[in-house]
Amino acid sequence: MDCPYRDPRTPVEARIKDLLSRMSLKEKVGQMTQIERRVATPEVIRDFSVGSILSAGGSGPRENAVSSEWADMVDGFQRAALESRLGIPIIYGIDAVHGNNSIYGATIFPHNIGLGATRDAELVERIGVATALEVRASGIPYTFAPCVAVLKDPRWGRCYESYSEDTDIVRKMTSIVTGLQGKPPPGHPKGYPYVAGRNNVIACAKHFVGDGGTELGINEGNTMASYEDLERIHMAPYLDCIDQGVSTVMASYSSWNGRRLHTDRFLLTEVLKNNLGFKGFVISDWEALDRLSEPRGSNYRNCVSLAVNAGIDMIMEPFKYQQFADDLLALVESGEVPLARIDDAVERILRVKFVAGLFEHPFSDRSLLGIVGCKLHRELAREAVQKSLVLLKNGKDAEKSFLPLDKNAKRILVAGSHADDLGYQCGGWTATWHGTSGRITIGTTIFDAIKEAAGAETEVVYEQFPSAATLANHSDFSYAIVAVGESAYAESLGDNRELTIPFNGNAVINFLAGKMAMLVILVSGRPLVIEPQIVEKIDALVAAWLPGTEGNGITDVIFGDCDFSGRLPVSWFRKIEQLPLNAEANSYDPLFPRGFGLTYGKEE
């Protein structure tokens, strides 16, 4: 090994210094560039010395591609990178935000809001371990997770990506960073990135900072707060991530008091890097530089200057990589962006690559393929579903509970838009960016799970929107299980001013009310408007959040094989006019308060 940077026995900082000294300015700019896989030809990767490639939501080798096909694709990109002059490996990134959710057959865990309902940091860490293994099996070493936003308004389209409106709960759930990356050894330098080995992935704490606090819950909006409140409420979880050696941080599309986070040097450099001691790299969000001017994409060169000088190290520029590279090269040559700023960015990127072992092990580990969607991981996801469920009502009479249900009942009616829809059960960021309905991957719907759990002599009748004829033909239903909820969505398209139950959910409930006893399961990424008369009419109500692929976790609890333990991670409002609803306010009057959750026989 004639070059120190190629020798794993050489200390990381010495390897960085050696490699940086050998790099041209063009190669440095290439390392700062992250492109989408659809434009990542071998020539582009090699000739630009591209630092990173990502898959957008749903962008893979083909529709429903399995992990081995993903590994083949990523390894192909890596071979092209290693053919560049200096042979610097790429970092391949993906949004594995609730399991390796873009890959067919992977285990899909509950979205973060459901995990926040568990309050179980150890469970979340185990989910991180399992997710890392399934991501690595696909040849990918980097996930854009976790989102550690503190939610302040459920109208926000990324509500389900937050663990809670309570900063302390979010801080507790950052244990997923240790699950993903591994636990740093005693004495590990504070703020220094850490990845334990080939079974772990590079994590990304996002979106720095205040993305969950925007006015009216508008995605990419403006968070109005003093620095003290920003630090206390929204920044605190990042300290926990940094303490665990998180390797990357993603800047937020949103603004703080009108200042775009992607251009805020005070927060990105003075606070995050200097004061908090973060030594990994800061990455931009998707095409974020285009959002820094109006109309979008205009005055692009100035946007590049503002973002890089503010402290963005790697630019997620999926398609305009050529323009980005040309403009940044020109900015350095003109002195508008100091070379020292470029060197700092590249040092940080190389540090993560060396720490993650990509120089020694650039290719996928095919021995991990058998673990994708394995029984152990699905049992873990099932446990997470069990613990995430929140029982909001149990019985019309305070003295008589309705749940648990009798699995040996003569005849059960299953109804509602979400009773037999795996896509809606998983929500956004599943198979595609926004998610969709239907059998999008391998998993168990609520209806599947009910059929599996019901007794041998029990008849289970499913009708999405029950008709009068169905009730006439079956007058002896023991009870109904009605699953209603939201469609799949992500980001701005999930912003919602009304938060009513879609798909005629209330109509289904009203139609069955009074005709038989009824459990309503609400499948959603946030609290929704529940009319008081609806609450009165039904016998039991369960918030199931977005549980993922393991519907058996729901039937385990509603049939009494295990008890409810979940508690609301957010306040459940009575009416939309109450929002934002602050649990610390004097006028706090929710339908169900944060922390509420019944068990069989008593309130937590």
Cα diameter, the chain: 83
The secondary structure element, H or E, covering residue 598 is strand 598-599
**CA–CA separation, 303 and 368 (whole Å):** 42
* Catalytically annotated residue among 486, 491, 550, 556: 491
CB atoms within 10 A of CB 531: 15
* Catalytically annotated residue among 27, 95, 285, 317: 285
The secondary structure element, H or E, covering residue 260 is strand 259-260
Q: Strands 222-223 and 204-208, how do they pair?
A: unpaired
333 annotated active-site: no
Phi/psi at 484 (5° precision): -130, 165
27 annotated active-site: no
- 133: exposed, middle or buried (Cβ count in 10 Å: 0-12, 13-18, 19+): buried
Bridge partners, 397 (sequence order):
400
- 189: exposed, middle or buried (Cβ count in 10 Å: 0-12, 13-18, 19+): exposed
Pull the structure tokens for residue 88.
């610097």
Q: Please, which residues have CB within 8 angstroms of residue 186's CB and are 6 or more apart in sequence? A: none
Pull the structure tokens for residue 36.
């989408």
The answer to whether the CB of 247 falls within 8 A of the CB of 253 is no
With helix as H, strand as E and coil as C, how does 305-335 read? HHHHHHCCCEEECCCCHHHHHHHHHHHHHHC
**Which residue intervals of 174-320 are DSSP H helices?**
175-181, 227-229, 236-243, 265, 300-310
Give the residue numbers marked as catalytic.
Answer: 285, 491
